[in-house]
Amino acid sequence: MIYLKLFLEFFKIGLFAVGGGLATLPFLQQLIDKYGWITHEQLLDMIAISESTPGPIGVNTATFVGNTTAGVLGGIVATIGIVTPSVIIILLIAHYFAKFSEKPIVKSSFYGIRPAVTGLIAAVAFEVAKIALFDIEKYKTTNKILSILDLKAIVLFSIMLYLINKYKKHPILYLVGAAFIGIIFKY
């Protein structure tokens, strides 16, 4: 039963997460709330790992969630579930796209989908920022407004944002650098 549930849930994510791996994140957050298969912190860690390993974030996360929930077979089932819609859709698109790509309705559809996908990604970025940059639990215990800020994380975030925009190096360099900083300063 768990394998069928994993397959169907990740099939739905794969079917409706238009816009790439980051667009799967709102669906993954809902999955966490619905089933509790992983925690929000594990999702945040999985995003970091997925951004530094080969493969799409959605597929990597599906594999992680499936494996965490139901072992290796669960990881395989969840991965197959998330990629199956893409395989079916891309086969259909490959067959028909050349015929229809210049049609006004197709162009208009893509024009409308782009900002929606951007909104989905921005919503997830906001959720990730809440977990990574703010310490809600500390605020709850101290009731001091400044305790909500995780100053070390905010400083590291600001430095990385500056460096990424200024130097435009490969993302893995920034991830490795951030990992070393985390080790050195015991984040």
pLDDT profile of the chain (187 residues), mean per 10: 95 84 80 88 82 80 91 96 92 81 84 88 85 82 84 90 91 87 82
Amino acid 78: pLDDT: 96
Dist CA 37 CA 69 (whole Å): 6
Amino acid 81: pLDDT: 96
CA distances to 4, 63, 88, 134 from 78, rounded to whole Å, are 9, 6, 16, 31
**Cβ pair 64, 38 in contact under 8 A:** yes
Dist CA 42 CA 45 (whole Å): 5
